[in-house]
Structure 1
Amino acid sequence: MSRKRLQKSADAPATVRTVAALAGVSIASASRVLNGIGGSTETVRRVREAAARVGYVPNAIARSLQARRTGLLALAVADIGNPVYVEMMRAIEEVAKRADYQLLVHATGADPEGETALLEGLARRYVDGMILSPLRIGDGHLTALGRSPVPVTVVGQLPDDAPFDNVRADSHGGVLLAIEHLADTGRKRIAFVNGAPDTLPGAARMTAYRAALTAVGLPYEEELVEIGDFQYAQGRAAAARLLARARPDAIFCANDLIAAGALHELLAGGLRVPQDVALVGMDDTALAEMSFPQISSVSLGAAERGRLAADLMLSRLENPQLAPRRETVAPTLTVRASSEVTL
């Protein structure tokens, strides 16, 4: 290549054609080397030297389209500020990174239409796969999941016959652990502050609460149940409404954000925790340990669910013909100062 032509090509981004001409090889040979496929030792040397000389930068988008692989995975959750999703995200990211994938995170605000739109957007193949953790599952989700051209793993409750990779928590077992613990400490009026009951976790934990009361021989009392949302402020407001009409000797909360709100409402009202009212949360996030007194909480294995979801995704990418798989993570209870005292 003449000095004049080299100077002219330097004014624009170098291409495979530029590298091939400078190296004295065919465009096909240069392309194989630049895409990591290889060639003879001499060809590889000449192409690499030429690429360095002209500052060749591979077109990542073109290469990903050619290979039909973006190197990206997506995670879609309701609220990226929720400690549960933070734990899940970190676990997924760790697994993805080891497999040379990067993670894109979407906050859906628990909007079913937004989640469905995200799933439908997968037709553009901007990622190789998605991990979705919805608060609600409707027909729109299931239809979009069935049409997705890339794998989707769902973290949350799916219909038993849904043919998709699925990781779920054992909410029923977790609620039973909490209620059994409170009953074992002598509590007789165990209240429940739930999140939105039309969500998957809200519905599951409400059903589990009633079943757990029956299991420990305690009656269900309507006045001991209050509905809020899975947030601190709404949890505190719900606890205030509960305490305005009833006096439980224990409160079980559907997550730790609600439990933190309930704790502050109890203390603000002059009630001692756990002497007057014991308190147990759910999810066992760092918030439970940072509170004072520290909050007893049931872990539903957020990090483990994330790890399993990422493992299922990578297996599916490697072998798309695998039968749909389902994993359930067992709950554990950590007892702390908010419920330790035995009456």
Structure 2
Amino acid sequence: MRTRTGSSPTIETIARHAGVSTASVSRVLRGLGGLPETVKKVQAAAAELGYVPNAMARSLRGGQSRQVTFAMPDIGNPVYVAMMRHIQATAGAAGYRLLLHSTQADPVEELAALRALADRHSDGLILCPIRVTPAHLDELGRAAAPVVVIGSLPEDLAVDSVRADSVTGAELAVRHLADTGRRRIGLLNGPADTVPGAARHQGYERALAACGLRYDDALTASGRFDAQSGEEAARRLLDRVPDLDALFCANDLIAVGALRALRSTGRTVPQDVAVVGVDNTDLAEACWPALTSVDLGAHERGRLAAELLLSRLGDEVQAPVSRLAVQPRLIVRESCGASAAHADQVGGPSQHKEIP
């Protein structure tokens, strides 16, 4: 029996017929075993549906595709491009091709990328979600192939991860602005219900308190993690708080939008308003004035995630779960100036210093 005339059954149809998960079907069909009852159900369903193993897939060395997937929220965001370059370099050196999946931060797309591992088109997945829902945790816990998450996960979930210390990064940025004499420091954030959005907000509040500055909701605005949203949020904030003297932006794209808004409203940077971004992407050096930005180690996170995935695909399948954290650095450039009182002295060729 076949699912329809002329078509071969898929792992999904076998799973439905057998009443088991696609991950279980994948393991049984790859010869990795499982519970005896599950193996019998899968084998019976496969035989009844007329499943024929793919000869090309069987011929691949070790039954592997020699491909790994990187699923990221936005392929146009420079921070994910930086990750991708280092994932590709690391995977390529080990003989793997890299497949890209731009999810647009849609949980449905991210869950689909996890479920697609059962099809064995990819040997493993590096997933970079900006929200982690219970459905994500459920799929991660039963993934049919190794997964590494770039982001934070619950400690009791047996999945490797690499994260940035975004809260400390936000603190570095806001403390620096306060140290240079800024007192009306605004926050331009992405969606507050995302992991990075929540971390930026937490670090912003902590730093204000540490510097003796009062938190005020009126000094914050949020939108998306892109330049257009950054410009719109900056305009709203400047209309509401005309005496704003600094902006901490949740990423470099938002900061680019903020710089546009400041120029169009006749404010100079850093003389009138100092600006700090996050991610230290190539955009930071390309801006004028060059953008001070928190480096969250996108390159390093990409490389470490690829190394963890390759270790799972190699000899360390049963190794303990790895939880790696990359420490932030503040890269100070002209968009902050030397201080609020002497910002007009900053100029000339782009220069920067690092604050660990």
Verify: 1:157 aligned to 2:152, yes or no: yes
C-alpha contact (below 8 Å) 2:71/2:102 kept by paired residues: yes
Structure 1 consecutive aligned stretches of length 4 or more whose deviation exceeds 3 Å: 59-62
- Residue 60 (structure 1) shift: 5.1
Partner of 1:332: 329
Aligned ranges 1:188-203 → 2 under 5 Å: 188-203=183-198
**Alpha-carbon distance in 2 for matches of 1:60, 1:244:** 62
| TM-score normalised by structure 2 residue count | 0.78
Residues 144-181 of structure 1: per-residue CA shift (max 9 Å, x gap):
11111210000012123222100000001101110111
| Kept in 2: contact 1:275–1:341 (CA 8 A) | no
In 2, Cα distance between equivalents of 1:149 and 1:119: 8
Q: What residue in structure 2 maps to residue 33 of structure 1?
A: none
1:264 alignment partner in structure 2 = 260
CA distance in 2, matches of 1:67, 1:162: 28
Aligned counterpart in structure 2 of residue 253 of structure 1, from 249, 253, 260: 249
Q: Distance in 1 between matches of 2:162 and 2:128?
A: 9
Cα distance in 2 for partners of 1:326, 1:68 equals 29
**Of 69, 88, 109, the match for 2:104:** 109
Give yes or no for the alignment of 1:211 onto 2:206. yes
Q: Distance in 1 between matches of 2:192 and 2:221?
A: 10
Q: 2:120 aligns with which of 118, 125, 142?
A: 125
- Aligned-pair identity in percent equals 51
- Residue 341 (structure 1) shift: 2.9
Q: What residue number does 2:162 align with?
A: 167
Matched, 1:314 2:310: yes
Match of 2:301 among 300, 305, 315: 305
1:194-227 per-position Cα deviation (integer Å, ceiling 9, x unaligned): 0011111011111111111111211101110001
Q: CA RMSD in A?
A: 1.1
Structural mapping, 1:51-90, within 5 Å: 61-64=57-60, 67-90=62-85
- CA drift of 1:255 comes to 0.2
2:283 to 266, 281, 287: 287
Match of 1:242 among 237, 241, 245: 237
Count of aligned pairs between the two proteins: 284
Q: Which has the higher helix share?
A: 1
Contact kept, 8 Å, 1:228 with 1:235, in 2: the verdict is yes
1:31-42, aligned counterparts within 5 Å? none
Give, in whole Å, the separation in 1 of the partners of 2:162 and 2:301.
6
Deviation readout 1:301-333 (Å, 9 max, x if unpaired): 000000000011111111210111010001011
Partner residue, 2:271: 275
Aligned with 2:335: secondary structure? helix
- Unaligned 5+ runs, structure 2: 1-54, 342-356
Alpha-carbon separation, structure 2, partners of 1:159 and 1:253: 27
* SS at 2:197 equivalent: helix
C-alpha distance in structure 1 between counterparts of 2:253 and 2:78, whole Å:
9
Q: Helix, strand or coil: the match of 1:187?
A: coil
Which of structures 1 and 2 has the bigger CA Rg? 1
- Unpaired segments of 5 or more residues in structure 1? 1-58
Alpha-carbon separation, structure 1, partners of 2:245 and 2:203: 20
TM-score in terms of structure 1 length? 0.81
Look up the equivalent residue of 1:182 and give its one-letter code: L
CA distance, structure 1, for counterparts of residue 220 and residue 77 of structure 2: 23
1:159, 1:218 → 2: CA distance?
A: 32
